[in-house]
Structure 1
């Protein structure tokens, strides 16, 4: 698509200003196969206040997450973010301090990243964490590549409970390479992982709580993997869950990846988010991204430096361990501020509230005739099997102002066995009135 001034005189003026003899010359670098002739029907110039009014009218058609009952989760969750978080990240010393290309000058940024790494390592129960990744899905793919470098093996097993979009991201990263085995998704289990484990296995990737909300004790799986010389990668999409459940490091994980959006970061139409990655200390040199460390200067004063920057795109790209070329610094700052405000006790209390609300939701859904709760265990997310296809029902409820969850068929299209499955999440922002509105609407539609 190309857009040019409507007036021939205006076109001539534009071409003269940029030094192009004709319109065809202007677009000569664009292949004819992708050069469209459609001209958008854009309005003539409007004053600023008219454009603002038009945009407000368009925005008013949106149904935001906070406009009513909201039960969507599946990797992105609606939690309360204190106003102080947004205020602090907009202070100029934070907002303008981006990637530290001259790191030792950016002491404030480096200290923030150092504190972020410390928080993440403690939260995940690991030895060391890096200074952020893009998001949880790409962090998972980076962990898979990291495991293959460490073990010098090719085979990677993705469990059936891994988030479908995380699975697809790993597949994209490893496109054209052999050794990737994706076990069949199932709301009841992870797949027969041990049957696929062999001496050529580099890593097993397993999620807990998994995509369907099940909590998984993977300690025995970790032992089996280590006996074969494989690494265990644990994925966490709902980071608030670690306020209650055992840290992945305590379950035998070698690498842990997570999505940190739930702390400090709103939904924001799907991003930007903040990926978390942590590992055992012995694997630190294969970790992607950067690592900030604490030291002292020539006068003995406390200071911070980039201890490790393994990316090496700056000078030796062919030697780089990763192609990640920045970090989610501002999102990581929001994460650290919110987690600092919560503290250990606050995070635990927040997790308990989430689980309590989820229990209310599960009981209410199980009481709806025809609705089957599939989870024996969960944190704040669960899967139900409906007597009808989930996607059309969700659309009908959305028309009533109720965002009822995620139909699994949207992420696993064409699979009949998931047509009736619906994944729902409950957070501290869900109320009893929201539950009542949801269950009453489902009963009405099923009736």
Structure 2
């Protein structure tokens, strides 16, 4: 709602009703050291139209992803979103209770979540999926906790190709409560992960395509993990890749988690995004979050309900698998609508377009003097090395109007060792003209 200022008399009346002597009394529970000891450097009040003009001027300084050549990926990707998605998510069928505890008034939301679970299970090649989590990074951390419960072991091995933000979230979840082996990031990505699997390992975590764009051999990883009684957790940050690559479940994955932003959800300045999780039927009791099921009512009519509730608000209490209190319902709805619009054939075609544009990008950049493409295999994302400090190169290209990917050093604490690497993504929205402009500008920048 719009800001509605109150007069001094109105404020005094409200204070009288609640029995507070003054406004300060409302904050008496806040410790004095927590109070700010300075005045914010903000301009004095202005007429509404002046504030609007000022805010428009500030907004005009922003650069949208569609304003020019755009090659940023590294976990969040710019794809085309059909106008149908935005139209359908606003229909009244979905405007039921935020939390669908009462199935009799939430059938629209519950059926959508049921269909969403079915889509995710098929996409990942797993038996069952939940009704979404917050995002890909927290889904990864939840998968790690789930693996520890299933195996009753503590050791977790994170591949060197796991997205640095995902690695940090796993660290934050576990703190000092587990034996966590984080392999060093490198252009090769995965590291010597097989050398760290032993009888105390609960799970290994492998991303594919990984942070550097490499495709990983999941079958070999599954065999190595299972030989020691450990689980394989597969992470996918670019869910469109599952339209072309073989499903992780068919290659031996035990838990698959993914970031679903690419379908139905715009970049949105970094969120909200959408966490996907799927697993084997045998592990369903340890899967966190919500699960929707299909049933029939007393009159034999098809209906949908929440089932296998594992959250702390329900009867499991301290035995809950997670303290997750909600899901990304609206983002899941957008994902489900977009995927339904594409269909299986459409998703495959979309994935092929992404890969084809990435091949064009790799070939164009490989022809630039001083640039080396490090990937032998990739989907829609590649890593290049440049003969200058990558952050300076990317900034120089930004001044030319080209957003040329992400310097690997920006996402690593020891970034200097990766200082010559740039990670670039190409999607169906990447044009031949965009690629040509990048190659020409990069040639000049490196001269």
TM-score tier by shorter-chain length is over 0.9
Moved more, 288-297 or 119-128: 288-297
Normalised to the residue count of structure 1, the TM-score between the two structures is: 0.94
Residue 96 of structure 1, CA deviation: 4.8
Report what 2:77 is aligned to.
Answer: 77
Conserved 8 A contact 2:96-2:105: no
Contact 2:184 2:191 (C-alpha < 8 Å) held by counterparts: yes
Cα drift, residue 217 of structure 1: 1.4
Name the SS for the 1:131 alignment partner: coil
SS in 1 for 2:445: helix
With normalisation by structure 2, the TM-score equals 0.94
What's the offset of the Cα at 1:13?
9.6
Report 1:51-90 matches (<5 A): 51-90=51-90
| CA shift in 2, pair 1:70/1:25, >3 Å | same
Q: What is aligned with 1:286?
A: 286
SS of aligned partner of 1:309: coil
Q: How far apart are residue 365 of structure 1 and its match? A: 0.6
Give the whole-Å Cα distance in 2 for the aligned partners of 1:248 and 1:104: 36
CA contact (8 A) 1:219 1:252 kept: yes
User: SS of 1:439's equivalent?
Assistant: helix
Residue 91 of structure 1 corresponds to 91
Specify the alignment match of 1:201 in structure 2: 201
Aligned to 2:247: 247
Contact 1:358 1:380 in 2 (8 A): yes
Q: 1:15 to 1:302 in 2, by over 3 A?
A: closer
Shift of 1:34: 3.2
Quick check: 2:375–2:382 contact (8 Å CA) kept in 1?
A: yes
How far 1:399 moved relative to its partner? 1.9
| Secondary structure of the corresponding residue to residue 308 of structure 2 | strand
Query: What is the rounded CA distance, in whole Å, between the counterparts of 1:15 and 1:333 in structure 2?
Result: 43
Larger displacement relative to structure 2 (333-342 or 302-311): 302-311
Aligned partner of 1:368 in structure 2 is 368
Deviation of the 1:237 alpha carbon: 0.4
- SS of residue in 2 equivalent to 1:191: coil
Deviation at 1:267, TM superposition (A): 0.3
Quick check: 311-320 or 124-133, which moved more? 311-320
Identify the range of structure 1 (432-441 vs 26-35) with the bigger mean alpha-carbon deviation: 26-35
8 Å Cα contact 1:132/1:327 also seen in 2: yes
Distance 1:131 1:112 in 2: 9
1:229 corresponds to 2:229: yes
Higher mean displacement: 249-258 or 186-195: 186-195
Contact 1:147 1:231 in 2 (8 A): yes
Deviation at 1:171, TM superposition (A): 0.4
**Which deviations, in whole Å up to 9, do the C-alpha atoms of 1:147-177 show, x marking residues without a partner?**
0000000001001000000000000000121
Once the two structures are superposed, the pairs formed by residues 297-308 of structure 1 within 5 Å of their partners are 297-308=297-308
Q: Which residue of 2 aligns with 1:346?
A: 346
The whole-number CA distance in structure 1 between the counterparts of 2:421 and 2:56 is: 36
Equivalent residue for 1:164?
Answer: 164
SS in 1 for 2:394: helix
Cα pair 1:99 1:329 within 8 Å, conserved:
no
Query: Separation in 2 of the partners of 1:46 and 1:96?
Result: 40
Residue 427 (structure 2) pairs with residue 432 (structure 1)? no
Q: CA deviation at 1:188?
A: 1.1
Cα offset for 1:308?
A: 1.5
Q: Which runs of 5+ in 1 are unaligned?
A: none
**Structure 1 pair 110/11, CA: closer, same or farther in 2 (3 Å)?**
closer
Task: Provide the rounded CA distance (Å) in 2 between the counterparts of 1:297 and 1:19.
Answer: 51
Whole-angstrom CA distance in 2 between matches of 1:97 and 1:397: 47
| Equivalence map 1:34-53=2 (5 Å) | 34-53=34-53
Please list, as runs of the form range in 1=range in 2, the aligned pairs for 1:126-145 lying within 5 A after superposition.
Answer: 126-145=126-145
Cα distance, 1:373 vs. partner?
Answer: 0.6
Please state how far the C-alpha of 1:51 moved relative to its aligned partner. Answer: 2.7
Note closer, same or farther for the CA distance 1:98–1:22 as it changes in structure 2 (3 Å cut): closer
In structure 2, distance between residues paired with 1:307 and 1:17: 45
C-alpha deviation, 1:31, in angstroms: 3.1
Report if aligned partners of 2:130, 2:290 keep a CA contact under 8 Å in 1: yes
Unmatched 5+ stretches in structure 2: none
State the number of aligned residues. 442
Measured in 2, the distance between the counterparts of 1:61 and 1:16 equals 46
Q: Aligned-pair distance for 1:35?
A: 2.0
Q: 1:350: how far off?
A: 0.4
Please name the residue that 2:271 is paired with.
271
1: CA distance, partners of 2:402 / 2:20: 54
